[in-house]
Amino acid sequence: MKFRTMVHGADRLGGITAPNDSRVTRLGAYLRRTKLDELPQLLNLLTGELTLIGPRAEVPQFVARYTTQQYEVLSVKPGITGPGQIYYTTDQADSIPTEVAADDYYVEHLLGPKLRMDLDYLRRRTARSDLQIMIATVAVLGRALFGRRAGRSPLDSARGDSLPSA
């Protein structure tokens, strides 16, 4: 569950939100920028549909493009936060060039590295790596709520050997 941040029917025009996407409402832009659109997912956590930490679920149109190896991320419950989710935050989505189709760019340039991060996490996860992800998540939320500062990704300090760079 998430709060609606786009106009009705926006999903028919693509799954990835491009920079300055006209489908995002004014309130939706605020909810996305502050990450408040994610709050309803806490209900999914309480009902057992999501875990706190794990690979983020993708929409079916992107899952259909997974390689056999990438399907491994579907062997566990999706998480509210995870390495791919932290690294590929709104900042990464904003880097999508406006002159290309956002969905195509995402599949060609971002989906593979994101899935590699999530797969590496699944293969090497420990209590320490989960704690690092939680700290990085708090940092992302803090930046979103209290103002963005240019610089390193929150995972840069937490990445270590268990969280590869993209």
Q: pLDDT tens digit string along 12-55?
A: 788 888 778 889 999 998 998 888 998 999 999 999 999 999 99
Q: What is the pLDDT of residue 165?
A: 42
Quote the CA–CA distance of 68 and 127 in Å, as a whole number.
Answer: 28
**Which regions of the chain are under pLDDT 70?**
90-91, 93, 148-166
**In angstroms, what CA-CA distances link 150 with 51, 75, 101, 137?**
30, 35, 26, 17
Q: What is the pLDDT of residue 9?
A: 85
Q: What is the pLDDT of residue 12?
A: 78
